[in-house]
Amino acid sequence: MSLSRRQLFTLSGGIVSGVGLTACGLALTSPGGSTGALLPSRVPLPAPFVTELPRLTPLRPDRDGRARVTVRRKGIEILPGRTTEIAGYDGLFPGPTIEATKGDPLALTVRNELDVPVVNHLHGGVTRPEHDGYPTDLVQPGREREYRYPLDQRAATLWYHDHAMDRTGPNVYAGMAGAVVLRDPAEVDLGLPRGERELTLVLTDRSFGEDAELVYPVVDGAIDHRYHGGLLGDVMLVNGTPWPRLDVDAARYRLRILNACNARRLELALDPGQDIVQVGTDQGLLTKPHHRSTLTLAPAERADVVIDFSQYGVGEQVTLVNRLGDGAMAQVMRLDVARRATDDSHVPERLSTIERIDPSLVVTTRDFHLALGQPMPGGHGSHSGNDRSLPMWSINGQPYRPGEDLFGAELGTVERWRFTTDVHHPVHAHLVHFQVDQDGAPAWKDTIDIGPTSRAEVLVPIEGFRGRYVLHCHNLEHEDRMMMADFSVG
Ligand code: C2O
Ligand code: CU
């Protein structure tokens, strides 16, 4: 779904400058419902379904719960036969997949060998504020720090990524993102597919320049204003490989899918069409499996799904498609059903227990409006990315002011948060999780996708730790352009 300029004008309540800027190239929405503009690559694009899907490199903490990663630049092969320099955890893109166990604390040392400051954030983690990766809590070049993650929370597919003030978009784009699989030994009994038949898929879109370099269009230290609405790449990468393929058994597979794109929304489906059985969300298992024909994932959202390839014939090629993508971006990867196989996995009707929060417990209801704000005072200038006449993205009319709380919440209470938006914004809060109603049952999320015509309402138990955290849009170009707010838990 895309907005015409007229609709945008209406929804943004007369932000005339925004409309004027659209005329000189500030693309806010693209066809297909992502907020952003496509940056075309300047190299020939690789043929799809040639390279095999790589398994992600696991990172297992040692017996004392310690692990370490070094952020560094490395030339790697992403496009066949070409070298692309990335900046990633241990020089990998995506970073290593941290394999952790619920309740076992992790002490992760992050060493920064880049020439820019970085911040590490465990997305979806319930973490003390000093370890949470507040945007100005920087690890300077040549330094390292230990982040402590209690991981005393539901098992789920989490992820870690950079969170540096004003630079999260370029840093993540350069490679600073990896998955975290937080397991609960009690879930093994459920019988979901595991071992070789459990895969983590990290989805990212990227664009490449003439020398196969990753292109992030920055002008004078800020995003080129044309991509102010979000940067969309024209190469779909799964685990860092363009449009890969994988031979699968005619059996059930569990796929943990992470949308790690800066701005691109995905609507995933199988072709030939069969049901995708969703078993989990951002914050772990659903109460019961849910059959769906398509699965929409906004940036930072995760889904845990089971696909039964025995529904297909041996020799059949099953494409994972993106219904919101155009041309080559309408495809993600291909799964080739290679052989018959035995399968003792199953998907039980009862996956987990989630207690529905009694709405009468709500002590505070808050309204958040995520929208393009007014230009910063100080006015008109050049057409550089720093142009202060460009409106900033804002929450409740307020561009991000680090250190100033938008609100305070009380530990141990339950709040109701309501969101409205102008265009699509995936909203994410640190520390707390959102209880949503999904298909008639409660489910846990940490990021929710809010479209221009919808309003979202979530229940938020204020649990974990006291201190200052952030709430922001996870379209990283919006986040860097101030769509963030502080809140404190007291
Ligand atoms: Cu995944 Cu504050 O971010
Ligand atoms: Cu946004």
For residue 314, the enclosing domain spans 195-340
Strand ordering across the sheet containing 331-340? 245-250, 331-340, 317-322, 266-271, 295-297
Single out the residue in 141, 156, 186 at which a domain terminates.
186
Same domain, yes or no: 264 and 366? no
How many secondary structure helices (H) and strands (E) does the chain include? 4, 36
Looking at the structure, tell me whether residues 25 and 162 fall in a common domain: yes
**Does 37 lie in the same domain as 147?**
yes
Q: Among 307, 340, 373, where does a domain finish?
A: 340
Note the pLDDT of residue 225.
87
Considering only CA atoms, which residue is closest to atom 3 of ligand 1?
123
CA neighbor of 187 nearest in space, from 350, 344, 306 = 350
Task: Look at residue 377 in the predicted model and tell me its pLDDT.
Answer: 59
CA of 173 to the centre of ligand 1 (A): 14
Distance 336 CA to ligand 1 centre (A): 34
| Nearest ligand for residue 168 CA | 1
The dihedrals phi and psi of 361, each to the nearest 5 degrees, come to -80, -15
Q: Which residues are paired to 59 by β-bridges?
A: 98
Atom from ligand 1 closest to the CA of residue 163: 2
CA of 469 to the centre of ligand 2 (A): 18
For ligand 1, the distance from its centroid to the CA atom of residue 82, given in whole angstroms, is: 31
| Assessment of whether the complete model's pTM goes beyond 0.75 | yes
Among all ligands shown, which has an atom nearest to the Cα of 171? 1
In 341-379, DSSP assigns E strands to 362-375
Ligand nearest to the CA of 423: 2
**Residue 388 and residue 470 in contact, taking contact as beta carbons nearer than 8 Å:** no
* Pocket-forming residues, ligand 1, beta carbon under 6 Å: 121, 123, 161, 163, 300, 428, 430, 470, 472, 474
Instruction: Return the bridge partners of 254, or none.
Output: 198, 306
Q: What is the pLDDT of residue 219?
A: 82
Quick one: 125 and 154 in the same domain? yes
In a domain, 230, yes or no: yes
| Ligand in nearest proximity to the CA of 34 | 2
* Same domain, yes or no: 64 and 155: yes
Q: Which residue do the tokens 């990896």 mark?
A: 178
Nearest to 284 by CA among 186, 182, 424, 366: 182
The pLDDT assigned to 374 comes to 73
Helix (H, G, I), strand (E, B) or coil at 356: coil
What distance in Å separates the CA atoms of residue 321 and residue 272, rounded to the nearest whole number?
10
> Is 154 in the same domain as 12?
yes
Q: How far apart are CA 248 and CA 266, in angstroms?
A: 23
CB 308 within 8 A of CB 335: no
Atom of ligand 1 nearest to the CA of 447: 1
- pLDDT at position 145 is 98
Which atom of ligand 1 is the closest one to the Cα of 161?
1
Within a domain: residue 354? no
**Do 305 and 451 have their domain in common?**
no
Q: Do 331 and 200 share a structural domain?
A: yes
Domain endpoint, select from 312, 340, 368: 340
Q: Are residues 209 and 180 in the same domain?
A: no
> pLDDT tens for residues 382-404?
333 445 567 799 999 999 999 99
Domain assignment of residue 348, yes or no:
no
In the numeric block, the tokens 């769906």 are attached to: 292
Which strands make up the sheet holding 144-149, listed edge to edge?
84-89, 66-76, 106-112, 144-149
Same domain, 272 and 221: yes
Contact by Cβ (8 Å): 7, 15: no
φ, ψ at 297 (rounded to 5°): -130, 120
Token look-up 């975290």 returns 180
Task: Pick the closest to residue 415 from 460, 358, 448, 382 (CA basis).
Answer: 460
Of residues 466, 472, 470, 473, the one with CA closest to residue 490? 466
- CA-133 nearest atom, ligand 1: 2
Other C-beta atoms closer than 10 Å to the C-beta of 263 total 27
Is there a single domain that holds both residue 175 and residue 199? no
- Determine the distance separating the centroid of ligand 2 and the alpha carbon of 400, expressed in angstroms: 13
For the chain, the first-to-last Cα distance in angstroms comes to 40
- Both 146 and 233 in one domain: the answer is no
CATH number at residue 156: 2.60.40.420
How does pLDDT run along the chain (490 residues), one tens digit per residue? Answer: 333 322 322 222 222 222 223 323 345 665 567 789 999 999 999 999 999 999 999 999 999 999 999 999 999 999 999 999 999 999 999 999 999 999 999 999 999 999 999 999 999 999 999 999 999 999 999 999 999 999 999 999 999 999 999 999 999 999 999 999 999 999 999 999 999 999 999 999 999 999 999 999 988 777 888 999 999 999 999 999 999 999 999 999 999 999 999 999 999 999 999 999 999 999 999 999 999 999 999 999 999 999 999 999 999 999 999 999 999 999 999 999 999 999 999 999 999 999 999 999 999 999 999 999 876 655 443 333 445 567 799 999 999 999 999 999 999 999 999 999 999 999 999 999 999 999 899 999 999 999 987 789 999 999 999 999 999 999 999 999 999 999 999 9
Could you tell me if 307 and 274 are in contact, meaning their C-beta atoms sit under 8 angstroms apart? yes
| 198 close to 213: Cβ distance less than 8 angstroms | no
Number of domains in the chain: 3
Ligand 1 nearest atom to the CA of residue 472, by list position: 2
Report CA(313)–ligand 1 centroid distance (Å): 41
Please name the residue whose Cα sits nearest to atom 1 of ligand 1.
123
Query: Which ligand 1 atom is nearest residue 159's CA?
Result: 1
Ligand 1, residue 430: give the atom nearest the CA.
Answer: 2
Q: What is the distance in A from the centroid of ligand 1 to the CA of 474?
A: 6
Q: How far apart are the C-alpha atoms of 195 and 126, rounded to whole Å?
A: 27
Q: How far is the CA of 328 from the centre of ligand 1 (A)?
A: 28
How far is Cα 367 from Cα 220, in angstroms, rounded to an integer? 35
The closest ligand to the CA of 261 turns out to be 1
Looking at the domain assignment, is residue 347 inside a domain? no
> Can you give 107-118 as a three-state secondary structure string?
EEEEEECCCCCE
Pairing, β 295-297 against β 302-308: unpaired
Is residue 94 assigned to a domain?
yes
* Whole-number Å distance between alpha carbons of 462 and 411: 5
Rounded Cα distance, 290 and 292, in Å = 6
d(CA 449, ligand 2 centre) in Å: 9
